[in-house]
Amino acid sequence: MCPPNTQQVSYGRCRCQAMLDEILRLKELRFPYRHGWLALERIREHFDLIKSELGSGIAPGDDPESVHWLVQQPRYWVGHYLPFLGIIERSTSPRTPFEVHAPLLRLARQLAGVDGSSSQSGVSLVLSSEWDEAPLVYPDPRGLRGFVFLGLPAYEADNPLLVPMAGHELGHLAWWRIRADTEWGDMVKEAVSAALDERWAAFRSQCKQAQYPDGAWWLDPSNEDEQTYIDFVDQPAEWALSQCQETFADFVGLLLFGRSYLRAFAYLLTPGLEYPDPGRYPTDSDRARNLRDMAGRLAWRFPSELEDYAALFPVQDAAQPEHREPFQLWLADRARMLLVGRLWSYAAELVQGSGVPQADDAGCAQVRDRFEKGVPAGSPATLSDILNAAWDAMPALVGPAEDPTGPTAWRRKADSLGELVLKSCEILEYEVRTGRTAGALVGARRSRIPRMVAMLKADRIAARLARDAAPRRRDPFVITPLPARSLRDLSTTGSASVDLRLGTWFVVLRRDRLPVLRAGWPSPESHLATTTYVPFGGTYCLHPGTFVLGITLEWIRLPYDLAAYVIGRSSWGRRGLIIATATAVHPGYAGCLTLELSNIGETPVELKPGTTVCQLCIHPVETKEMQIGDASTFAGRRKPIIGSIQLDDVALALSRPAYDGGALPTGYEALGSLTFAELHDRLSGFDLEFGWPPSSELPPEILQPGTESAPCLHARGTHPDGSECEVVLVRVADDMFHAYVRRGAAVS
């Protein structure tokens, strides 16, 4: 072995310093939960130690093997930790469903606590995304004991309907925490031996007909070469143990989340693929069949559309006992099948012993009723009830294959329910922290509300909330979570409004990317705004002269006969914080209310989620028709959005520049107001030459909207009907055009 030289030590120290610099950069990110930051601190301490040991130098008499091991440490640990740094960085992305972090953390701690540890608080959860098609988990990784890294698929990171798949990953956590490999190792070997006995005669016959005329003598246990037999059986036993862990994790997910786990599993994994290491994983068809069989043992209602669940996963070819390796694969599969019943009992005992609440049809039905009315789940509700209700409310994704709108409509519905799911999780955490339960709806007098009331006082508001809390109310008035400790407390305040609290999401425009805001521009959220999540207990600092969009913690649903408006609290205004909204909240609105927060004072203001910041004043609306729903783009959202200012026909007509110094010539037909994409589609059948000199290509002024030159463009050519024509395009906004066409031989 060549002894390490000084240059190798220097390289190692530089590598450690580079990692320390990267960790320092990552620690400057805004972490909604400190678990990611604490993981970075653990990694930093490790590299500080390695760098210190390398800095002590190498003495001539040092053991060469020990020195060689030392200089290898930087490269080894860099490769080990880099994937975790990526997961930690992505855990700060606003696409991460932060609201499910606290419920999942409680589940992880409850499942990890079954190992007999004295404290469950030793589990830290980093919820992030992974560049993988399926969720991944890294529980207790080397060097990061006590941390669980849960990565949702990056392309579905903001889809809470897939959260049930986290149950599978938490099953892996429980398996490792209780050291089930040790307990199940002997049982798996016994199952492999039993499987071998089943097919021994057939396998030996196959060997005689193939390349082993002696009939696989090397596998006969009576043979003197016993080690050959042991080596042969050890491989399928190792594979079978891995398959047992996967099956156990599936059962834990099913027990934790019920039918929502079945649906999320089907959505992500159908129609099934072959794994690169088939020995370690059961086929997707086997997994689906096991889930369907075991789901029949549970008390909850099985979804009708999943009755033929296993048919979603075509049966994959099983390994046939033809020669050595396929026979070993068959032994592993068969051994796992023999243990399925015991694995189910093992998982059920563990989940029940952890105290995790199970899926409940009655609770799920209550939550679904609220979801269908556009209202988040109320208390009491569990994470399992919330997710099952969301999937129950989803329409079946079936229809003609040629119908292109089916998946789009389904996805739109999924996004809408996703907002309700995440808001329900936030309300669940609010109730856990404050100790408020469904009893808050008790104690208000259900009095009759007079029709002609200018504004509802607090006692009238409480009475209406109590009346509409009945499950069968078609068009209820809902404020959830309730701002007061109970309706009785609310009814005795004597005020003519309801105090609302600050939520957990903030949006601020990025000045470096936004030169100017113009009417008619699309909403700038995607690339011109920064979204920040601040969990309960965190703070957001609003500096003097700055502006940010906030959101109310409460989800409001107004019935057809009530409207409202929002005003700020004077106690904040006296400190320089101006809290405004679009003021009016129309009948049928459902969602959180966006707040415009401006600090016009001279001192930074610290904003804490959960603080009362504004007031909701409610008044009746005279109407004879029930109109449920609000078409506003701001409705049904848990995050603040900027939205866009649309130009109506009048504004577009008034903003249109004059054509050629005067009015538009007669004889022109208006094609309408079109975006660039719509314009391209509308003119696809024309044969036009734009501008002078003529050109067969669209000019730069259209291909690059935003330039101020040539707001009025001309084109000559042939209409789709074959006649000559002239087209005039007038740009009224960066991505909006008025289009006119004149046909006939009289084209000038």
Tens-place pLDDT, residues 366-401? 899 899 888 998 776 789 999 999 999 887 555 444
Going by their DSSP bridges, the two strands 124-130 and 147-153 should be labelled as parallel
Question: pLDDT at position 104, please?
Answer: 92
Give buried/exposed letters for 141-157 (b at 16+ CB in 10 A, else e): eeebeebbbbbbbbebb
User: In the structure encoding, which two tokens stand for residue 642, read together?
Assistant: 């900027």
Distance, first Cα to last Cα, the chain: 89
User: In the structure encoding, which two tokens stand for residue 221, read together?
Assistant: 């246990």
Alpha-carbon Rg for the chain in angstroms: 33
Across the range 555-568, mean pLDDT stands at: 91
Distance CA 395, CA 411 (A): 10
Across the range 628-641, mean pLDDT stands at: 73
pLDDT band at 612 (very low <50, low <70, confident <90, very high): very high
Question: pLDDT at position 631, please?
Answer: 57
- Model confidence at 175: pLDDT above 70: yes
Q: Are 86 and 112 in contact (CB under 8 A)?
A: no
Task: Choose between 219 and 591: higher pLDDT.
Answer: 591
Distance CA 644, CA 521 (A): 6
CA 610 to chain centre: 23
- Model confidence at 607: pLDDT above 90: yes
Question: pLDDT at position 686, please?
Answer: 86
Distance CA 549, CA 532 (A): 10
Task: Choose between 149 and 119: higher pLDDT.
Answer: 149
Task: Choose between 711 and 688: higher pLDDT.
Answer: 688
Q: Are 520 and 733 in contact (CB under 8 A)?
A: yes
Question: pLDDT at position 308, please?
Answer: 76
Across the range 6-30, mean pLDDT stands at: 90
Which of 128-137, 226-235, 267-276, 295-304 reaches the highest mean pLDDT? 128-137
Across the range 334-341, mean pLDDT stands at: 93
Across the range 412-421, mean pLDDT stands at: 89
- Model confidence at 693: pLDDT above 50: no
> Which amino acid is residue 10, in one-letter code?
S
Q: Are 135 and 161 in contact (CB under 8 A)?
A: no
Which of 70-84, 112-126, 672-686 reaches the highest mean pLDDT? 70-84
Question: pLDDT at position 381, please?
Answer: 78
Grouping H, G, I as helix, E, B as strand and the rest as coil, residue 346 is helix
- Model confidence at 18: pLDDT above 50: yes
Across the range 679-684, mean pLDDT stands at: 80
What proportion of the chain, given as a percentage, has pLDDT over 90?
Answer: 29
Question: pLDDT at position 397, please?
Answer: 52
- Model confidence at 209: pLDDT above 80: no
Question: pLDDT at position 606, please?
Answer: 93
Burial class from Cβ neighbours inside 10 Å (0-12, 13-18, 19+) for residue 710 reads middle
pLDDT band at 195 (very low <50, low <70, confident <90, very high): confident
Across the range 352-358, mean pLDDT stands at: 85
- Model confidence at 120: pLDDT above 50: no
Across the range 72-90, mean pLDDT stands at: 92
Going by their DSSP bridges, the two strands 724-733 and 712-718 should be labelled as antiparallel
- Model confidence at 189: pLDDT above 50: yes
What proportion of the chain, given as a percentage, has pLDDT over 70?
Answer: 75
Across the range 319-332, mean pLDDT stands at: 66
Question: pLDDT at position 656, please?
Answer: 54
- Model confidence at 445: pLDDT above 70: no
Phi, psi angles (nearest 5°) of residue 320:
-100, 145
- Model confidence at 524: pLDDT above 60: no
Task: Choose between 711 and 236: higher pLDDT.
Answer: 236
Task: Choose between 151 and 274: higher pLDDT.
Answer: 151
pLDDT band at 573 (very low <50, low <70, confident <90, very high): confident
pLDDT in tens, 212-224: 444 444 455 455 4
Residue 488 falls in which region: left (phi positive, over 0), alpha (psi -120 to 50) or beta: alpha
pTM attached to this predicted model: 0.78
Task: Choose between 698 and 42: higher pLDDT.
Answer: 42
Write the CB contacts of 78 (distance below 8 Å, at least 6 apart in sequence): 15, 19
Distance CA 708, CA 412 (A): 37
Q: How far is CA 484 from CA 263, 334, 496, 610, 699, in A?
A: 37, 59, 14, 12, 61
**Pick from 74, 76, 91: which is nearest to 40 by CA?**
91
Q: What's the order of all strands across the beta sheet hosting 669-674?
A: 669-674, 736-743, 724-733, 712-718, 687-690
Known catalytic residues are 596
Least confident of 341-355, 379-393, 532-546: 379-393
Task: Choose between 435 and 317: higher pLDDT.
Answer: 435
- Model confidence at 740: pLDDT above 90: no
- Model confidence at 571: pLDDT above 70: yes
